[in-house]
Amino acid sequence: MALVVQKYGGSSVDSTDRIRAVARRVADTRRAGHEVVVVVSAMGDTTDDLLELAGRVTAEPLARELDMLLSSGERVSNSLLAMALEDLGLRACSLSGEQAGMITTGAHGRARITEVRPRRVREELARGAVVLVAGFQGVHLPTGDVTTLGRGGSDATAVALAAALKADVCEIYTDVDGVLTADPRIVPNARRLDRLSYEEMLELAASGAKVLMSRCVEYARRNGVPLHVRSAYGGEPGTTVFGSVEEQTVEQALITGVAHDRSVAKVVVAGLPDRPGFASAVFRVLADQQIELDVVVQNVCTQPGRTDLTFTVSEQDGPAAVAALLARRGELSLRDVLYEEHVGKVSLVGAGMRAQPGVAATFCEALSSVGINIEIMCTSEIRISVLCKDFQVSDAVRALHDAFQLGGSEQAVVYAGSGR
């Protein structure tokens, strides 16, 4: 008998028919004798719809109230799934994040799980129930307030639970056949990867491959939880994420895949004094606002003694980043803050690229062959990322996927979802 944590994404439960189909899948696992904990996302595009609803009431919803609102989506899908399981003759119990002991920081909308106290989950398992945990949410103990974990956060709930319960496996069920070499909504012949290391998956996820939330991969790596990403529809074998690059004994492919992210924005802090202390002051201002930076580049500027500092943030954080910097304009002695939302990031990831000269050359040739101008380029040991205009992102992804011959001979299947 194993303890299995299964997570089902929103598009896999976007109707009551689908909830009943998922219930049958869960029931099969339970009836095979395993203990099952299930984490379900909100139905379909519920989270986006709720956000839209809040936007119709006020332009600036309070973060606390927004979390109360958004966390409700996962409670609906969980309780419905519990009812569907009971209807199949199984014992089931749905729990909110708080009831399941998901303790988080107090950062509304982007809270991090600091601890899991799964006493209630264990009690229900011992009673023979399938336990359903509302994903994407937790509680901040000092205030007692409900928090949410950021978009895609149900993945993090599932992994944190799997780690706390020492589950044998954490299965992530979604609307495609696993982790592919690119988003199949952009690249029709994207190929399913059998397995990849945490490192590669982390780079892909952090670069925008939203099939897994990057923080969930971090938790999985830290706690040694193997992830199995597979379709909630067919019986395809899926993708296993585990171990380090070095541990993966199969011959390492040069390139793992291409990821993209349209939700980035570019901020240029122009004419910052080119002296020690000013860059750090800029970063401190942003850190105080809890704003995460991504690509950071410092350039010489045309004015003597001044420098331009360029970085990317999520579109969501962009306006707050600009406002915080402009509010300190005098103190930071900066000339201006420029903001550009119509940019996207495209990244090539591959553990084998570190020892391969020529990857950057092929990368740039592929982009120039489709007329794409690179705005910023940066690399890690196993990744090359560029910023380009947002309307060029799909062309860039396809050009890179072709240039590095990542495609398969079959068309990838997208089972559901709006791709939102």
> Rounded to an integer, what distance in angstroms lies between the CA atom of residue 286 and that of residue 86?
49
Q: Is 9 annotated as a binding residue?
A: yes
Cα 195 to Cα 55, 103, 339, 351, 404: the distances in Å are 41, 31, 39, 13, 19
Which amino acid is present at 196? L
Which one of ligand ADP, Mg ion, ligand ASP, none is in contact with 180 (Cβ closer than 5 to 8 A by kind)?
Answer: ligand ADP
Select from 6, 11, 12, 41 the one that contacts ligand ASP (CB under 6 A). Answer: 41
User: In sequence order, what are the residues at sequence separation of 6 or more whose Cβ sits closer than 8 angstroms to the Cβ of residue 384?
Assistant: 347, 348, 353, 359, 360, 363, 377, 378
Q: Nearest distance from residue 254's CB to ligand ASP, in Å?
A: 32
In whole angstroms, how close is the CB of 153 to ligand ASP at the nearest point?
A: 5
Torsion, CA 174, CA 27, CA 5, CA 98, rounded to 10: 100
153 is a contact residue toward Mg ion (CB under 5 A): no
Our finding on whether 152 is near Mg ion (CB under 5 A) is yes
Query: Measured between alpha carbons, how far is 197 from 226 in angstroms, rounded to an integer?
Result: 10
Confirm or reject binding of residue 314 to ligand ASP (CB under 6 A). Answer: no
Note whether 198 binds ligand ASP by CB under 6 A. no
Stretches 150-158, 228-236, 289-297, 335-343: which one binds ligand ASP (CB under 6 A)? 150-158
210 is in an annotated binding site: yes
- Provide the mask over 176-215, with x wherever binding to ligand ADP is found by CB under 6 A and - wherever it is not: x--xx-xx-x------------------x----xxx----
Query: Is residue 151 near ligand ASP by the rule CB under 6 A?
Result: yes
User: Should residue 154 be labelled a site residue for ligand ASP when binding is judged by CB under 6 A?
Assistant: yes
Secondary structure class of 254 (helix, strand, coil)? coil
List of E strands, 274-361 = 296-300, 306-314, 336-340, 343-349
Burial degree of 168 (CB within 10 A; 0-12, 13-18, 19+): middle
- Binding pattern for the stretch 203-242 against ligand ASP, x by CB under 6 A and - elsewhere: ----------------------------------------
Q: Is 271 among the residues that bind Mg ion (CB under 5 A)?
A: no
- Kindly indicate which of the ranges 8-16, 20-28, 29-37, 359-367 contains the residues binding ligand ADP, using the contact rule CB under 6 A: 8-16
Least Å distance between CB 39 and ligand ASP?
9
Would you say 112 or 398 has its CB closer to ligand ASP? 112
For Mg ion, give the closer residue by CB, 47 or 197. Answer: 47
Q: How far is the CB of 73 from ligand ASP (least distance, A)?
A: 6
The residue among 205 and 286 lying less far from ligand ADP, judged by its C-beta, is 205
- 416 makes contact, choosing from ligand ASP, ligand ADP, Mg ion, none, with CB < 5 to 8 Å by partner type, with none
List 97, 101, 118, 152, residue binding ligand ASP (CB under 6 A)? 152
Q: What share of the chain is helix, strand, coil (3-state, %, to 5)?
A: 35, 25, 40
Residue 47, contacted partner among ligand ADP, ligand ASP, Mg ion, none, CB below 5-8 A by kind: ligand ASP
CB-nearer residue toward ligand ADP: 69 or 180: 180
Q: Tell me: is residue 266 an annotated ligand-binding position.
A: no
Distance between CA atoms of residues 397 and 76, nearest Å: 36
Q: Say how far apart CA 237 and CA 175 lie, in whole Å.
A: 14
Structure tokens at 408: 């398969």
In single-letter form, the type of residue at position 203 comes to E
Cβ atoms within 10 Å of 123's Cβ, excluding its own: 12
- What's the N-to-C CA distance of the chain in angstroms? 38
**Strand partners of residue 173:** 8, 230
Query: At which residue do the structure tokens 């890179």 appear?
Result: 400
Q: Is 285 annotated as a binding residue?
A: no
Instruction: Note whether 324 and 227 are within 8 A (CB).
Output: no
Positions that interact with ligand ASP (CB under 6 A): 9-10, 41-42, 47, 73, 135-136, 151-155
Q: Binding site for ATP, residues?
A: 7-10, 174-175, 185, 210-211
Positions that interact with Mg ion (CB under 5 A): 9, 152
